[in-house]
Amino acid sequence: MNGQITTYSPDFISFSYDVEIISPTSPALFNTQPLKEITVNIPISNNLNRYLEFSYAIYQSHFYSFKYPLKCKLTYKKSLISLTNDLLYISVWGSTQEEVVDAFYFQFYSLYCNFAIENDENLSEEAIILKSKILDLISLVL
């Protein structure tokens, strides 16, 4: 079963799953019907802090695995969703959660390219501290 969040709003989360329905009358266990989509809406309490935790970032063919989950805060303002992380000075936004996650992945890729692999002599003191935070977070780069 493959699932994904299709909607994330201040009021609810929608999960959509593609499932194979196994026919109870089929002679073989693997004789299945076509894929069906099931969507479940889960209400969100207004008092709930909204965060996303990333255990990796992937942008185009670049993959970065993290040593620990990177917690990012979600904020809703009118029709925009913003995502921030103070540790790495990340601030991105979009109209859907998918856009926000894609923007996060691009932002992390950009931070890695502009700071983590740059020579220290080309960076300011603040940039070297940011570079250290990025490198401390990453466990694997592919």
pLDDT of residue 80: 86
Across 10-37, average pLDDT: 50
pLDDT of residue 50: 85
Across 6-25, average pLDDT: 51
pLDDT of residue 75: 87
pLDDT of residue 45: 44
Average pLDDT over the chain, rounded to whole?
A: 78
pLDDT at 4 over 70: no
User: Which residue shows structure tokens 């603040």?
Assistant: 126
If pLDDT is split at 50, 70 and 90, which confidence band does 130 have?
A: very high
